Structure 1
């Protein structure tokens, strides 16, 4: 009982040291979750620290902050016309069923202590050793962050894991376009993450899938770009329908002016036009979905038609062992490509 009391007092202390004027429940929980990594320096058994981590994981899964805003969001939905057109995820996550996810998280923390403690270069080595015997690893990975808040450091960490697993390209998508708006910050965080893992800063190169204005990279004849590092295509919610509309419009214009004829209008031709609109972004073999939604919420539908979609809960506290487990699941899946 004394140890449990100490653990609860420690958790309360973490909440107290957070400046309440600084904000929301999510920020507080994030700070607590980050601070828990340092608890191992204190004379408290590992089981207690793990219990505290699981408590925070559970709170994140329940989605306290999102639930607080759900009532207001539901009232806004009754208004017509709608006040905003962007995709919202105020009621996101898997909060109605948090317990199974929390149990899985606890199992990973207890069974894979050494693996989950690996960071930087150690994490890269751990991923390579854990996946070297997998016969089928995804070459193209999609990261679907279907959560209202985006943690750029967490996104950079998952990109590093994909790089270590041998991915040849990545597409990163979030429902509010945060990755595009914060792209410069993401680039700096990614460079620091790569340096810590003993990669070159240029090992990862970000590409806006459908940029406005002039484009920065040279295109080849297939619509893809000449890139030196691992391409990470950043996708926004407006790119889903917008890319398809632009591709069909260009196809119709080319047919109208005689550039192509009836025999050229095939699925392969349409696929080429669509990929050209997205700067050659390939279809992800594996789509990692964060947020607990049973939908892709605006991700380009043409690209994810045959993708294997696997869920990983919240991106803010994803574990390395969970990432490896997803790769193992993908290796066992029979790929039928829609057949």
Structure 2
């Protein structure tokens, strides 16, 4: 390869990069071509990254959503979508659709807030009407008006945060002690307390001590009902006076007493059948029912859900086949008014047992 005496000449067999293209020129006597290299650089345009990464959600009609904030959000969406639109018809349709959505949203919001206020006022009125005043005689008078009462009652309660009113473990223990006193006064034989995480299982002694203290406030120090407290997945059973008959059995349930228990029972029965320790013909509905009753407890006649909506929270499904369910909408407090209204609803209910 030879190079001429000028910087503007390159050999004809020189390697030209992909991004450089040479313009062909007439060759001189030395077999060289004279040209000025023309560079063509391929410019790669960077990808445009959208800055609007926030996920859009439809307007929510729940009470905790501000009507004013949703209104401004819809107006902003309308302004953003209508920017650059040149069609008058499309712009009119967009405004019309958003106006319809706003009207529907406001109607639903007003209706839901009206129901919420009405229910809260109704609950306040019930709390004033039904007030036990820590007297078992008042509770007995309310129960005597009913045609029947349940023998077994189950209550779904929630563990509240420390910041909330009557929250924390102390609030939960106080609620359970009140439910125990109301159940004893009403003549209920068995009370099941279901808390999803089973937090109360670590406070057996505190719960037993507070229940006895609360029962003394109701019945006095001379006659204190005898209570038995136990948990299906624990060997702990607390009885104040073992030599005397039990007035009320209190069972503490949690999520492990539901579907996980059914799964473990299924595995056990399968292993027994494989090892020929149990015949397949002996595996019946009655056998499974007897085992689950022994592991968890009997099926309650009435379940009181102290939640603003119907939420069973993974309650043992086998034990609510014929259970009467009761809850008060927009209520999350454990009050005597809800308790006695549940008993009244049970007395009026008609249970049809099918085969």
Is the contact made by 2:154 and 2:193 (CA closer than 8 Å) also made in structure 1? yes
- Mapped to 2, the partners of 1:216 and 1:146 lie a distance apart of 23
1:129 corresponds to which residue? 141
SS state of the match for residue 148, structure 1?
Answer: coil
SS state of the match for residue 141, structure 1?
Answer: strand
Is the contact made by 1:146 and 1:297 (CA closer than 8 Å) also made in structure 2? no
Is the contact made by 1:205 and 1:231 (CA closer than 8 Å) also made in structure 2? yes
SS state of the match for residue 316, structure 2?
Answer: coil
Choose the corresponding residue for 1:141, options 153, 159, 165: 153
Change (3 A) 1:137 1:229: closer
2:193 corresponds to which residue? 172
Aligned: 1:324 with 2:345: no
- Mapped to 2, the partners of 1:187 and 1:316 lie a distance apart of 22
Aligned-pair RMSD on alpha carbons?
3.1
Change (3 A) 1:192 1:295: same
The runs of 5 or more residues in structure 2 that have no matched partner are 1-62, 65-111, 162-166, 239-243
TM-score (norm 1): 0.60
Aligned: 1:198 with 2:206: no
2:133 corresponds to which residue? 119
- Mapped to 1, the partners of 2:177 and 2:319 lie a distance apart of 22
TM-score (norm 2): 0.58
Is the contact made by 1:205 and 1:230 (CA closer than 8 Å) also made in structure 2? yes
Aligned: 1:188 with 2:200: no
Is the contact made by 1:170 and 1:232 (CA closer than 8 Å) also made in structure 2? yes
- Mapped to 1, the partners of 2:267 and 2:253 lie a distance apart of 20
Cα deviation, residue 296, structure 1: 0.5
- Mapped to 1, the partners of 2:267 and 2:114 lie a distance apart of 43
Change (3 A) 1:157 1:108: same
The runs of 5 or more residues in structure 1 that have no matched partner are 1-61, 64-93, 218-225
Change (3 A) 1:327 1:270: same
Q: Which has the higher contact order (CA 8 A, sep 6+)?
A: 1
Choose the corresponding residue for 1:209, options 211, 218, 232: 232
2:293 corresponds to which residue? 275
Aligned: 1:240 with 2:254: no
- Mapped to 2, the partners of 1:227 and 1:262 lie a distance apart of 40
SS state of the match for residue 303, structure 1?
Answer: helix
- Mapped to 2, the partners of 1:98 and 1:203 lie a distance apart of 41
Q: Any idea what the Cα deviations from partners look like across 1:13-65, whole Å, max 9, x if unmatched?
A: xxxxxxxxxxxxxxxxxxxxxxxxxxxxxxxxxxxxxxxxxxxxxxxxx89xx
Length, aligned pairs only: 231
Is the contact made by 1:146 and 1:293 (CA closer than 8 Å) also made in structure 2? no
Is the contact made by 2:151 and 2:190 (CA closer than 8 Å) also made in structure 1? yes
Change (3 A) 1:162 1:250: same
Cα deviation, residue 277, structure 1: 2.1
Is the contact made by 1:205 and 1:227 (CA closer than 8 Å) also made in structure 2? no
- Mapped to 1, the partners of 2:261 and 2:115 lie a distance apart of 35
Change (3 A) 1:154 1:215: closer
Greater Cα radius of gyration, structure 1 or 2: 2
Is the contact made by 2:306 and 2:333 (CA closer than 8 Å) also made in structure 1? no
